[in-house]
Amino acid sequence: MLPAEASFFLLGFSPAAASQLHLSWPLLLPFVLVAILARSRRHLLTRAQIVWLIVGAAVPLALLVPTVIRYGFATFFEAAEGT
């Protein structure tokens, strides 16, 4: 079984990594919210888990910085308009 910190790292990493490959990344956000809400309702959510969630998302999102600088943030949503 994975430790909670590793799970939250992967939970943050997954939507951010998917945002680079496919437009379905917003569909993963409810899973992140459900995990946070479920752990917080049982008083199991710790600051370390939130930090690992943010670190997990920051790793792949940092790779998007050059794209955002060059083309702007709106380019992530323009592809959806053309379909």
DSSP letters along 56-70, please? HHHHHHHTTHHHHHH
CA-closest candidate to residue 53, choices 73, 30, 35, 76: 35
Would you tell me how many other CB atoms lie within 10 Å of the CB of residue 35? Answer: 17
Q: What is the pTM of this model?
A: 0.77
Mean pLDDT by 10 residues, the chain (83 residues): 92 88 82 92 93 94 88 74 61
Compute the residue count for the chain: 83
Write down the domain spans for the chain.
4-81
CB count in 10 Å sphere of residue 5: 16
